[in-house]
Structure 1
Amino acid sequence: MEQSNRKVFKISLAISRVLSGEASDTEREAVDGWLNASEENKRLFGRLQEEGLLARKVRIYQTIDKQAAFNEFLKEKAMLEERHRRLRFGRVLKYAAILILPLLVGGVYLLNQLLFEEKKELDIATVISHGERKAVLHLSDGSTVDLDKSNVMLNERNGMLISSKDSGLIYQNGIDDNTKELIYNTLYVPTKGEFYMQLSDGTKVWIGARSRLKYPVNFKGKTREVYLEGEAFFDVAKNPGKPFIVKTKDFSVRALGTSFNVMNYADDDFSHATLKTGKVEVTSDRQKVLLVPGEQAFYRNYQTRVKKVDIDVYTAWMGNVFKFDKENIDVILRKIARWYDVHIFYMNESVKNYHFKGTLPKYTNLSDVLGLLEQTTDIKFQIKGNTVVVMKDGTRESK
């Protein structure tokens, strides 16, 4: 098996260098020999030369955190050497391929996926697309407005101008009528959606899939209070005399001028607030903690624990990727389910505790994302309609 894997790796590397125009004479001869061995090899090589296929795969796998993959590889190597005094080449290949791909225009990793591994049972004919910008705005009179990329102009009953453009939802030019009445709107971002908005005080909010934010059309009184279910990132406009407070079912976050992420989903057994800049105070029924940048208040079972974190892991979702730092597969797949609007079914409950460290692309088909997870974990996926079946990959050696 080891010798076979080495042969696969060697020809994969040679093909990759031929495709990138960096092959030596010896490597070109090796590829020529492989091509002449069968018509199937020629057909597969032709597929690799198709610009669209190769470019798309390279863009996807370039999102992998190469340094994190390398660190995991070194840890795996040390552990295996300690246990067996020899390295299992199959597992080295998995991580080495991740490292080589961005440097060699996708050859090694792509070939292992398309040519040399057994065909995955992933139903690639089922194309499930990623989420997009969309939301539903609930106005104070009970009416609703569907928001996407279209331009919308609205007026609330206190004269507040609400506009939805390419930049998102913006509240401006409100009329302060000197009354104490608070007029509320609610923005709901459904499954397979995301949205950006700017509140009347200038606070910027990025809202994730399956999330709900309730907020005053115009802030009055001594505080600025909003209510969140789901996930959102807040870049709070400074106003020392009027604290900004985000209330969730588990805790509240109190800030002045700062930026932070809050995740509090009903189907999760935990929630957290993560600070990027400034300071915030996180208060639950039993505890009150103060955060500084790079810290997170992690809430579970009525207890709040403060820990240092990589802030990028909790803010990357606003961009083009999801980033994870040894996160449970169960948590990762719940996020994927919200973004792709699929159901998750586990054939083996034990795989929920598997971990993944790295990045996953947001704006690609679900099959590509699951394929990437298959390559970097001991898990297999099947897409059955709108359900993702998760199971342990019995063809790999156990950890």
Structure 2
Amino acid sequence: MDQEEKINWDKLLNHLKHSAELPDDDELNPEELEMLLFAEEINMRLKEEDVQLRFPVHEGWIELQERYQQKMAKARRFKLYRVLALAAVLVVALSTTWWLFLQQNHTEQQIAGNQIQLTLANGQTVELDSSQSEILKTEGAALNGTSLVYKPETALPKGDHQSSLNVLSVPKGKFTRLELSDGTKIWINSGSKLSYPVPFAANKREVTLEGEAYFDVSHNADRPFVVHAKSVAVKVLGTAFGMSTFKNQVSTALEKGKVSMQAGNQQVLLVPGELGLYHAENNCLTKSEADLRIYTAWKDLDLYFSESTLEEITSRIAREYDVDFVFEQENLKNLHFTIDMPKHAALSKILQNIKLSSDEVDFEIKGNQIQVKRR
């Protein structure tokens, strides 16, 4: 049977429009599910706020054609032209996003909701977009795509900046990258805040983190780099590590170099492959070997979990997709899953994959809230 003949398009469109109202026995076959996820991926990328992750209007269709030409080579009777046409119909059925993309003539739309903000030393707050380029320029910074990049320290205006801090705030559902004047690169994740001086002092480099970030620190033996997070200080010379302060703990996942993690009179030295954990509840600082990708995959725009609880998984998804999860039963939080997907994948695709890997859990999306139910 032809692959397109295996797809009931009326049923597929019905799933797109009325998924929350469909009976449990209205299941999609593998070909229908693949097309549904394909359409949802396009729709999510059309609405992506990060311009680097958006679906490119012209180039994107060429990419999709190439993708399906590879499929056609394996199944020669697969009618490419109809699949692409019907995929476009599916996207239109989901929303009016495609029409908006054509109407805006490839110019960036102003996105509603919270934006990434930079609070300057003088108290002024600006959003990180091209309209603020002149203000950023006076601070010795510029936007490179979605990254905020400072001039090298030697090119910055002279003066004493040490009592003045800049604060970069990244709301839920957003992500950005920062390059400081000393060459240190920092990826800042959703729901996070980083405070830093411009430039650094002559004998030290200190920043303060609330949330989650990944640091690739420029080596300078004369000026140690210190990250302050709650009651913890992580001291490095030149290294790369992920750090998080979410929940009631501070974690440091070291990928290369060596760091000292200190909390009060406690201290641990981390080598690559080790995870340092500080639990505020019992004031305990420990270290262990760990799968560090669980703590750093977000920086590479991946969503990765290995035998993690559903509570841990939904906690991260809630921040990075700016949604709320409500559990019908508390014991559902203890179910374990392994996930390895691109971070820009449609949320519905992620939830569908979790659902397909277990016969115990189901999800119901209601606006910005996702109900977690037992099947």
CA separation of 1:54/1:218 partners in 2, compared to 1, >3 Å: closer, same or farther? closer
CA separation of 1:196/1:181 partners in 2, compared to 1, >3 Å: closer, same or farther? closer
What's 2:230 paired with? 249
Unaligned runs of at least 5 residues, structure 2: 15-26, 43-70, 76-92, 97-111
**TM-superposed deviation, 1:325:** 1.6
Unaligned runs of at least 5 residues, structure 1: 1-14, 21-30, 60-103, 108-123, 394-399
**TM-superposed deviation, 1:319:** 2.2
Higher alpha-carbon Rg = 1
TM-score (normalised: structure 1):
0.65
What's 1:187 paired with? 168
**TM-superposed deviation, 1:315:** 1.7
CA separation of 1:56/1:312 partners in 2, compared to 1, >3 Å: closer, same or farther? farther
Which SS does the other structure have where 2:168 is aligned?
strand
**TM-superposed deviation, 1:229:** 0.3
Q: Identify the match of residue 174 of structure 1 among 148, 152, 156.
A: 156
What's 2:48 paired with? none
CA separation of 1:278/1:146 partners in 2, compared to 1, >3 Å: closer, same or farther? same
Structure 1: how far apart are the matches of 2:301 and 2:341? Answer: 9
Structure 2: how far apart are the matches of 1:182 and 1:392? Answer: 53
What's 1:359 paired with? 340
What's 1:372 paired with? 353
Structure 2: how far apart are the matches of 1:51 and 1:330? Answer: 27
| 1:306-328 CA distance string (max 9 Å, x none) | 11112222221112321112212
CA separation of 1:132/1:166 partners in 2, compared to 1, >3 Å: closer, same or farther? farther
Q: Identify the match of residue 321 of structure 2 among 340, 359, 379.
A: 340
**TM-superposed deviation, 1:153:** 3.7
Structure 1: how far apart are the matches of 2:325 and 2:38? Answer: 30
Alignment of 1:275 with 2:257, yes or no, is: no
Kindly, what percent of the aligned residue pairs are identical? 32
Amino acid corresponding to residue 250 of structure 1 in structure 2: S
What's 2:64 paired with? none
Structure 1: how far apart are the matches of 2:320 and 2:245? Answer: 16
CA separation of 1:284/1:55 partners in 2, compared to 1, >3 Å: closer, same or farther? same
Which SS does the other structure have where 1:152 is aligned?
helix
Map 1:281-300; keep pairs closer than 5 Å: 281-300=260-279
| 1:52-73 CA distance string (max 9 Å, x none) | 64755899xxxxxxxxxxxxxx
**TM-superposed deviation, 1:392:** 2.3
- Deviates further, 141-150 or 294-303: 141-150
Amino acid corresponding to residue 341 of structure 1 in structure 2: D
Structure 1: how far apart are the matches of 2:209 and 2:356? Answer: 36
| 1:324-381 CA distance string (max 9 Å, x none) | 1221211111111111211121110111111112313321322211111111232111
CA separation of 1:340/1:50 partners in 2, compared to 1, >3 Å: closer, same or farther? closer
Structure 2: how far apart are the matches of 1:361 and 1:167? Answer: 19
What's 2:295 paired with? 314
Structure 1: how far apart are the matches of 2:95 and 2:249? Answer: 32
Map 1:97-246; keep pairs closer than 5 Å: 135-148=116-129, 152-154=133-135, 160-166=139-145, 168-172=147-151, 173-177=155-159, 179=160, 181-246=162-227
What's 2:306 paired with? 325
What's 1:385 paired with? 367
CA contact under 8 A between 2:40 and 2:346: conserved in structure 1?
no
CA separation of 1:244/1:47 partners in 2, compared to 1, >3 Å: closer, same or farther? closer
More relative contact order, 1 or 2 (CA 8 Å, 6+ apart) = 1
CA separation of 1:195/1:165 partners in 2, compared to 1, >3 Å: closer, same or farther? same
Amino acid corresponding to residue 176 of structure 2 in structure 1: F
**TM-superposed deviation, 1:152:** 2.0
Structure 2: how far apart are the matches of 1:389 and 1:167? Answer: 33
CA separation of 1:201/1:40 partners in 2, compared to 1, >3 Å: closer, same or farther? closer
Amino acid corresponding to residue 161 of structure 1 in structure 2: G
TM-score (normalised: structure 2):
0.69
What's 1:4 paired with? none
Aligned residues: 296
